């Protein structure tokens, strides 16, 4: 199934999904490392449990220690799988009309942002550092008309998405220019890509023109 067969809520009737991507997998690396280290320490502890001289289960301190270990294990497992689920919930879609940036968490955040191609003024790719160039991820800084500056972080293969966005943006600009060339109607310049049903102002016919006002000086 191609990307053009994908559909989402709020999609326009002639809008096609060109591509979509999630954050680079490097965002999961800290959670994966901490989870693996924690499980390794817990595994080594339980496998070597016979070598330790443990106190009796009747001791309050030992009971509290067991409860804390269970809580810590549950918390680490929950945090790891929660971060994996949230990784797949957040997605960025590029269509032939706009960029849809979705950031979601399982419990708290549900943020959606839509950037229309015709509002994009400039796109910059930032991929600084050896780590980013080896793993091929970076940032896309999108400058739209107005004071807004939108940054897409940890974008995988930023060179491809940078070229794709520029190509779609140029296609939209060329399409708007071909659809509505530069015209002036009664002093209104509608060359900004907005269609207006206007027509030139025609002079009034002689019979519709207002008659001149005659002043009666004899009545004074």
Are the beta carbons of 73 and 40 closer than 8 angstroms?
Answer: no
Residues 99-137 as b or e (16 or more Cβ within 10 Å = b): bbbbebeeeeeeeeeebebbbbeebebeeeeeebeeeeb
The tokens for 4 are: 């053009």
Q: According to the model, what pLDDT value does residue 106 have?
A: 86
Residues 6+ apart with CB under 8 A from 56: 62
Q: According to the model, what pLDDT value does residue 47 have?
A: 81
Q: According to the model, what pLDDT value does residue 149 have?
A: 86
Domain ranges of the chain: 3-7+16-178
CATH code reported for the domain at 3-7+16-178 = 2.30.29.30
Confidence grade of residue 178 (pLDDT, cut at 50, 70, 90): confident
Confidence grade of residue 174 (pLDDT, cut at 50, 70, 90): confident
Are the beta carbons of 155 and 148 closer than 8 angstroms?
Answer: no
pTM (predicted TM-score): 0.69
- Which one is predicted more confidently, 50 or 166? 166
Query: What's the CA gap between 126 and 129, in Å, rounded?
Result: 10
Confidence grade of residue 198 (pLDDT, cut at 50, 70, 90): very low
């Amino acid at each position: 199934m191609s990307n053009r067969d994908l559909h989402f809520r709020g999609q326009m009737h002639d809008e096609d999904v060109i591509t979509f991507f999630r954050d680079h997998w490097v965002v999961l690396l800290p959670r994966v490392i901490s989870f693996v280290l924690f499980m390794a320490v817990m595994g080594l502890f339980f496998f070597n449990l016979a070598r330790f001289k443990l106190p009796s289960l009747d001791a309050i301190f030992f009971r509290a220690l067991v409860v804390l270990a269970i809580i810590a294990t549950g918390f680490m497992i929950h945090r790891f799988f929660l971060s994996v689920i949230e990784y797949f919930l957040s997605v960025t879609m590029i269509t032939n009309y706009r960029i849809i940036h979705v950031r979601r968490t399982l419990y708290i955040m549900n943020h959606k942002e839509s950037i229309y191609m015709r509002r994009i003024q400039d796109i910059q790719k930032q991929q600084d550092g050896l780590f980013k160039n080896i793993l091929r991820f970076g940032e896309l800084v999108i400058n739209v008309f107005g004071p807004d500056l939108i940054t897409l972080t940890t974008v995988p293969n930023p060179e491809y998405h940078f070229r794709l966005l520029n190509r779609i943006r140029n296609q939209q600009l060329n399409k708007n220019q071909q659809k509505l060339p530069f015209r002036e109607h009664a002093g209104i310049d509608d060359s900004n890509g907005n269609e207006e049903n206007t027509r030139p102002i025609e002079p009034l016919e002689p019979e519709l023109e207002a008659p001149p006002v005659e002043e009666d000086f004899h009545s004074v």
